[in-house]
Every structure is written in C-alpha cells, then in structure tokens.
Structure 1
Amino acid sequence: MSFPIVRNRRLRGTAAIRNLVRENQVTVHDLVQPVFVTEGSDVKSEISSMPGVFHLSLDHRLEEEIKEITELGIQAILLFGVPDHKDSVGTSAFEENGIVQRATKRIKELNPNLLIIADTCLCQFTDTGHCGIIHHHPITGQADVANDPSLELLAKAAVSQAKAGADIIAPSNMMDGYVHAIRTALDEEGYEHVPIMAYSVKYASAYYGPFRDAAHSAPQFGDRKTYQMDPANGREALREAESDVIEGADFLMVKPALAYMDVIRMLKDNFDLPVVAYNVSAEYSMIKAAAIQGWVDEKAIVMETMTSFKRAGADIILTYFAKDIARWLRGGN
C-alpha cells in the first residue's frame, strides 16, 4: 500500500486509549431530576405511562425522594406541582401556600444545597389545561390563549416561587415576552440574583404525551400549536432564543431533545449561554417500555443517548433517567 495510510483505529485499540481521547462524557453534575409533588398524605403513586416516576406527597414520601437524590450526588431538581384545585386563571400557581411553594420550602429544609428549578407555567393549574388565560375572538368566537394578560400571572407565579426559595425560575409557557416580564418582576421584588432557565425552543411535540398524565395538564380543548413551535421549523428556533437572550435569560432550553439535536447544536453555535436539553417523557417511556420487554439494553441505550446530547452541545440535561444514570456512573445497576 502506498503512503500515507490513515489508521484511525490506532486510537480505538484499548479501553484506556478510548478513554483518553473521548471527546464528550456525561457526569452527574450534568443532570437534573424532575420531581412531581402532589397533595395528600403517604402518596407515592407511580405514573402509569412513566415506569419509575411517581407523584409524591409532601411528607415522608418527598423526604425519601430528596434523600435518594442527594445521596446519588444529583445537585438539581426540576419541580412540578399537581394542585388539588384549578380555575380559569391558575390561581394556585401563585398562591403563597401553593403546592410548589410549600414543596420548595420543605425541600430547602431537607437539603438547603439542592438546587430547585421551579417550572413556571399555568397549564397544571388552569381548568383548561392551557398555559395562560383564554380569550375568544370577538368575531369568530375561536378560543385562544391571551398573551399579555397571561404574562402578568406568570410573573406573579415566578415571584412567589422565588419568595418560597426556588433557586432558578424555569418558565415553560412560550408566551411572547415572557422572559422580560418575569425578569422585570423578579428584579422589582429584590430577586435580581435568581436566574431564568428559559424554555426558549419548545416544540408542539407528540413526545409530551406521558407528561400530561404526570402533570394532569392535557388541554381540555384544542392544542398548543398557536404558542409552541412547529416541529418542521429550525431557523425559527434562533429567533425564539435570540428574543430570550435580549430579554435577560440565563439558560436556553431545547424541548424535546432527542428529535431536535440539530437545534441544540444551532443554539450552541450561535449563543454563549448554557444550553439545556430536556429529555422528555415519551423519550423516557419508549426506552423504558422497550427495556421491560427485553428489546434493548437500557443502560447502554440511555448512556448513548445522553452522550449524544452532550455531543450536540448540551451543557445540562433534564431527564427522568437522572437517578438511574447517577447509579450507573457509580458502577451500580
């Protein structure tokens, strides 16, 4: 054979060499574990479409979960609340004694150093299941979410969450101007130190199905396509993210992650803020279901997927697999 001969396999010959030249790896510090809290006592109710994920009451059940997360070395959780009452404006989202607010205070008692990222939306708290206030077109009568009036309520919710002790506010509503409205409200109330993890690029995705079981947040009519992004669009993601950067976001999220790794890379290449990948409910449930059937090696496929998020440019990964991954990284099963 004539020179030169490129032998790329030289750097794959042993595990030690592969470890030495590995470009991306997942660590426990990359991970955020979602947690669902609910009313009641002694509640640990498995979500039927998400094996291994539970609704937890704010008593010893939540304490057990926080203890496990802490012992695994996970440093952050994404907190969702499932209230016992809903209304047209999502009042319980911003009540001082709301489920998220009480859970936040309790978690801070259990582990003051655990980062609490508070999901800030209205869909779990409105009787319509939509992410804002509903208005009707004066001529057609068609129902849709009113953008600007919804911003006022989202800002109230963010302030109440920060007041309860949330470390990071994560607004997931996709209303125009939401970062500015929340940043302004937080600053005015003395919470200028609290970062905003913007759900900057959130698609109207079929991958959210199991989550709606978890959060009891399925829309009671229509869909969310007028405010969440069209899955066919990529360049639009840059406009959405740029708006959030200008308005004061501290993190930029792409949701879902698995089918949108090109978008993760676009944000990584175009902005200098940390990029967050949300490995959403159906992405989790599909792997779990296949693993239960014995069709895939769960650990191998999960770790490959997480590494691919890192390779695409994600700095942080929100995933329901976080506890499993933390165990695997320690050498457990």
Structure 2
Amino acid sequence: MHRSTSFWTFFLPPSLWLALFFLAPLALVFGFSFAEKRGLIDIVITGTLDNYLRALDPLYLRIFVKSFWFAGLTTLICLIMAFPIALIIAFSSAKWKPILLLLVILPFWTNLLIRTYALIAVLRTRGYVNFSAEWLWEKANAGLNLLGLGDYQLLGERFVPFELLYNNTAVVFGLVYVHLPFMVLPLYAALDRMDRSYIEASLDLGAGQLRTFFSVVMPLALPGIISGIIITFIPALGSFLTPDLLGGTDSQMIANVIERQFKSANDWPFGAALSFILMYITFFALAVRALADKGNRGSGSTPA
C-alpha cells in the first residue's frame, strides 16, 4: 500500500502536467488540421483532408524542398565540422576535456535571439567581417602602392562590401552556427565510449591513419553519427527565427509559412496541417533511428 501511494504521488503530477499542457494542445491542433475556416474567426472540425491536400500545391512543395535542402546541408556541414572537434575532445587529457566541453555548450547559456542578432552584427554590410576585409584591402593596396603597382588597380578602385546577409548563404551559416553543438555532443559521447584498442590494433597491423579512421573509428562512432544527424536535422528543418532574421524574401522555410498561417493569414487549419506534416516527418526520422539501433544491436558494433 505504501509503495502504491508513493508511486501515484510521484507519477500523477508530471502526468497531469504533460496531459494538460502538451497532449491536450497537441490534440486540439491535430483536430484543427481536419477543420474548415468559415468567416474570419470560425473554425469547424469537419474531418476534411483539404488542408493536407493543399500542402501538395507546388508553391508549398517548393518551400518544403527548400527547407529539406537547408536542413540537409546544415546537417552535412555540422557533421564535417563536428567530427574533428569531437575527436579532439574525446582524445584530450582529463584536465582539458571538461574545459572543451564547456566551450561547446557555452552558447546554450545565451538566448538564441541574442546570438542571432550578434551574428547580424558580424555579417551586415558594416559588420565585423566586412570591416576586417576592408582593413586588409587597404593594407594590401598600400603595399601595392609601395611596390609601384598601385597604378594598375589590381585590387580595384574601392572596396566593395560582401553581401553576407538576407540570402540563402546567411541562413545556412546561421543554422550551422546554432546547431553545431547538437552534432558535437552525441559524436563526443560515442567516441568517448569507443574501445581504443581497436585503433591501436589497426595501426599495429599496418593500416594507415585514413584507413583506420574510415574502417574503425567511423563504424564505432556510427550510433553517435545517426543520433547527431537526427537531433540536428529535425530542429534545423523546423527553424523559424534564423531564416526570419537572416534570410531574404527567397529564403523562407516551412516554419515561417506556418507562423504566417497562424498570425497574419489567420488560417489555423492549414497551419495546423503543415505543423503535423513536420511532426510526421519527425516521427519517421525517429523510426529510422530506432531501426538503425535495432540493426546495430543485431549485428554488433565491432568493426570488421
């Protein structure tokens, strides 16, 4: 009796919180996805699939494809950048490992909006990147004048600032900047648990550094790679703030379209349908992750 009372005491409060503030709103939005908008504010749940069929319009399909492209490119760049960082942390000494991990998670201590505005200050026309490039241009131009080559205008008459903001490149750059730690941490966790005797055996048997990396390290780090890809790709696909602040009119992602449906367009049923399409994609990615885990457990993680 005492154990049962203790169980329900600790189980009920979080369960009620989850049901009231997560499951109930989610069910409401799910119902809206099968509703019709009548008038300015009336929404009637009729069971229609028109909202999902409307998402197949070429206009929205292009935005979906663009969102997938941005998220996929972001994930690939994060994977390429995060792997050496995770290797350095995993193979660093016990003294430096917590310091390096702290540097990775340090951006989480600052609000995303503040970090994005800081990135704008770096990339804008009179930002730090263009300011530094202009300073280098002036120094190089002065050096050419000293060599007597200034009359040939090898560097042009004046410095032209780089257009680094309000385009697709800025969006991808911002997404990588935001989501890189999400890739580093699972990779580090997988590499830190790795049995390093396999690496020593591979090198002792004559395999080179590259072959050891691709034949031993990569297979052992595969669970971390899959986890990193999923927890980077899914948030990047649903990103709203980064493309809204850094992108131009041609850089909007599906989350920006959803936001407009709930606010300016006041079309909640269509916005709910788009939201649940993203959720279905998330469920699919998690199912793929579960199948990959099952396959790894079935075949074993020991490299050949």
TMscore range, shorter length = under 0.3
Larger relative helix fraction: 2
TM-score normalised by structure 1 residue count: 0.24
Larger relative strand fraction: 1
